[in-house]
Structure 1
Amino acid sequence: MKYLLFTIAFVLILGCRAETETRIVKELAPPLPPVFPAPLTEINLPSEREKLALINKKITVFGIKVFALEGVSDRDLKLVANVLTQWIDNDENGTPDNPEVLAEIVRQKSRMILGVTFDQIGPWHEKSQKILKDAHAPTYGLDVTTINHNWYGLPLSEYSQSHYHTEGLLPPDAATEETFHLITDIGYANVYPSAFWHGDLGDNPSHALRSYIQKRGKVQKGASLLTVAMDKARGGYFKLMPKEYPDDAWYTRSDDCGYKCFVGEYIHWGIITLVGCNENREKGIYNQWQITNARSLRNRDTELYELLTNTKYNFPKIAPDGSYGPLSQ
């Protein structure tokens, strides 16, 4: 009897100890990353409300809706969805490379709208976007006339702009650009504001960004490591576009689109240079950007190179080719 009581007591002690250790481990362990829906494999029809907003079809990738207006081909909708997904899941293992960044993009209900031309997208933003649920959610527009199908080894569309027919790979590609802007403007700027904030608060800033601004203020100059690097690349801090850039500047965009826009364009130039999209494109980009390969980026724009290659942020390492997993089928 004594032996039985001793055994029961011993088992109870072990059980309590195991439960305590399990609780401690759970408290010390980092939270599990959010679970994201896998990219859909087919084009979907819009909801009734989306139809009222003139949405013709859509694809959802990792919780981000990519809408298309009338006239956009299935091929181009799939292409843009593929490129967006490849930026998010660059190693194509089915999960986002930076779950925190994607979680912020999804939290803000960010999305994309594709139209055939800018003249179609502009009025849509002004009139039809307000019909959608979450009307003020970040909505990035892309007119598919500015997709450079040459980059993806695809035949040009009937609505491709003329210079894509004559200049091949030299002109830029809006599919890689606008999808990446969404990721950096909304995701990286809100998750890592000290590194990537662009100087604009936005409609729904993250707690991290709010806290950061409370500490340092809303001043654009020196807003983040990214803006400091950009100001160096432009030859100084310019709230407005200068009439002329200093001779030692290598980022010399000549059409004024506002400071936040300049920051977004700058990091986009950096990433497409890093992943090899600017090789042999000197003629096509020299009036805006004077670095064409990763080695030159590392040597000439050290600050930007270090941001883009820092494993903490896990930026893409491979250029999207428009053929992510099942979406390319």
Structure 2
Amino acid sequence: MIFPMMIIFYVMIIACNTDTQSENQKVPNQANSENIVIGTKGNTPPSQITPKPEENPSTIQINPSAKTTKTLPIFEVVSEHPKACINDHFSQFVRVHGMYVVGDEDAPSDYVLHTANILAQYLDNDEDGIPDDQVVTDYLVANGFIVPVWTKDIRENFWSSARGTWCEDNIRTVASMYHADSGDQWAIGGIEKAKIWDTNLEEVWHVVSAAWYRVYPEYFNDKFDDPRDSLLTEAVDAARGGYFEEAPKIYPAEAWYRYFDCPYGCQVHEYFYWITVANIGALDPAITNWCPNEEWSICTKEELRIRDVRAYDLLNNHGFKLPTHIPDGSYSPTKQ
């Protein structure tokens, strides 16, 4: 895989480690399509379902005392992953704020780069070169979360061959993107430009949000292993018209969130995705036909403020540095 020449900038980062068939599309002529390698510095944090890949992030322990000091690029196309058990199945690698987006040899390179840019924009939504919440990013890095761009066959082969290797216990793929035989959509250039939905907005967020459940449990606990409520689960229960451990066959008439495919913890994850993309304007009917739908009907931030008071308050009134802009796959941290 040949990529254009990289532009490299480095500064010091002090990291606190916590615990389908798609046609190849032409890469837009913009900065994110180049192999950009940019450095960053530290930041003070604020006061679905496949076999092995869809692990429960609740099982991962946080280690807030572990600290490392190293020079890290924030966006870099690299030739390999540090671990051989990853390299045996993937040939494309993009390191994003210490995380990895990986692609198999048949994954279109513009797809892999697009996914990496979406990840970068979720982690650093204001694009100043610094993760918006360093603790969230550190958690994802320390616990081996990656974002694969692969096929279902490669996914199965990867986890089968990972048994007994470093990858079995140290790599986590809570969600992923499929470049073939899945129905995943790729809005190269962003949903407003491409005029289609971008599945990356959901799947990449599922990976990033895995950290929010663990790092801020009082606010975002998903109740997978920890039975305590959080502001997020309280909002879920209100949106579903009550608490249901399993999805009911028929939701109460007053419910505005109706998801039928998985148990409670998974319901929380899908809800967090819906409220996040509504809050950043990605569901606005003016730019997408993705909303309303039978699962979710709140399409704008203003509707969220009026109809889902708990969700709006959680996302906007507690000082968290959650995304506020729609990732479009054009990460360009030039606002430093």
Instruction: Report if TM-score (shorter chain) is over 0.5.
Output: yes
Aligned mate of 2:129, from 80, 91, 94: 94
CA-to-partner distance for each residue in 1:143-198, whole Å, 9 max, x for gaps? 13413326726998xxxxxxxxxxx53xx53211111111112x111111011011
Partner of 1:135, secondary structure, is helix
Q: Give unmatched runs, 5+ long, in structure 2.
A: 1-41, 45-66
Give RMSD over aligned pairs.
2.8
Q: What CA distance in whole angstroms lies between the structure 2 residues aligned with 1:183 and 1:71?
A: 25
* Structure 2 partner of 1:176: 201
Call closer, same or farther: CA 1:129–1:37 in 2, change over 3 Å. farther
Q: What CA distance in whole angstroms lies between the structure 1 residues aligned with 2:164 and 2:88?
A: 8
Partner of 2:212, secondary structure, is helix
Aligned mate of 2:220, from 196, 217, 232: 196
* Structure 2 partner of 1:290: 297
Are the aligned partners of 2:257 and 2:296 in contact in 1 as well (CA < 8 Å)? Answer: yes
Are the aligned partners of 1:39 and 1:60 in contact in 2 as well (CA < 8 Å)? Answer: yes
Amino acid at match of 1:190: R
Q: What CA distance in whole angstroms lies between the structure 1 residues aligned with 2:185 and 2:301?
A: 24
More strand by share: 2
Amino acid at match of 2:220: F
Q: What CA distance in whole angstroms lies between the structure 1 residues aligned with 2:84 and 2:315?
A: 39
Amino acid at match of 2:158: W
**Identity rate of aligned residues, in percent?**
28
Call closer, same or farther: CA 1:321–1:306 in 2, change over 3 Å. same
Are the aligned partners of 2:76 and 2:96 in contact in 1 as well (CA < 8 Å)? Answer: no
Q: What CA distance in whole angstroms lies between the structure 2 residues aligned with 1:129 and 1:55?
A: 17
Are the aligned partners of 2:77 and 2:95 in contact in 1 as well (CA < 8 Å)? Answer: no
Q: What CA distance in whole angstroms lies between the structure 2 residues aligned with 1:179 and 1:68?
A: 14
* Structure 2 partner of 1:278: 283
Q: Give unmatched runs, 5+ long, in structure 1.
A: 1-30, 157-167, 202-217
Call closer, same or farther: CA 1:48–1:235 in 2, change over 3 Å. closer
The TM-score, its normalising length taken from structure 2, stands at 0.70
* Structure 2 partner of 1:147: 185
Match status 1:58 vs 2:97: no
Are the aligned partners of 1:230 and 1:263 in contact in 2 as well (CA < 8 Å)? Answer: yes
Are the aligned partners of 2:43 and 2:130 in contact in 1 as well (CA < 8 Å)? Answer: no
Shift of 1:55: 1.5
Call closer, same or farther: CA 1:65–1:129 in 2, change over 3 Å. farther
The TM-score, its normalising length taken from structure 1, stands at 0.71
Amino acid at match of 2:282: C
Shift of 1:92: 0.5
CA-to-partner distance for each residue in 1:28-58, whole Å, 9 max, x for gaps? xxx9747672323324234571466311221
User: Aligned pairs, how many?
Assistant: 263
Q: What CA distance in whole angstroms lies between the structure 2 residues aligned with 1:308 and 1:113?
A: 28
Q: What CA distance in whole angstroms lies between the structure 1 residues aligned with 2:43 and 2:332?
A: 25
Aligned mate of 1:73, from 96, 101, 108: 108
* Higher RCO, 1 vs 2 (CA within 8 Å, ≥6 residues apart): 2
Alignment of 1:63-142 (within 5 A): 63-115=98-150, 117-128=151-162, 131-133=165-167, 135-140=169-174, 141-142=176-177
Q: What CA distance in whole angstroms lies between the structure 2 residues aligned with 1:129 and 1:302?
A: 45
Shift of 1:258: 2.5
Shift of 1:282: 6.0
Q: What CA distance in whole angstroms lies between the structure 2 residues aligned with 1:257 and 1:120?
A: 24
* Structure 2 partner of 1:205: none
Q: What CA distance in whole angstroms lies between the structure 2 residues aligned with 1:311 and 1:90?
A: 17
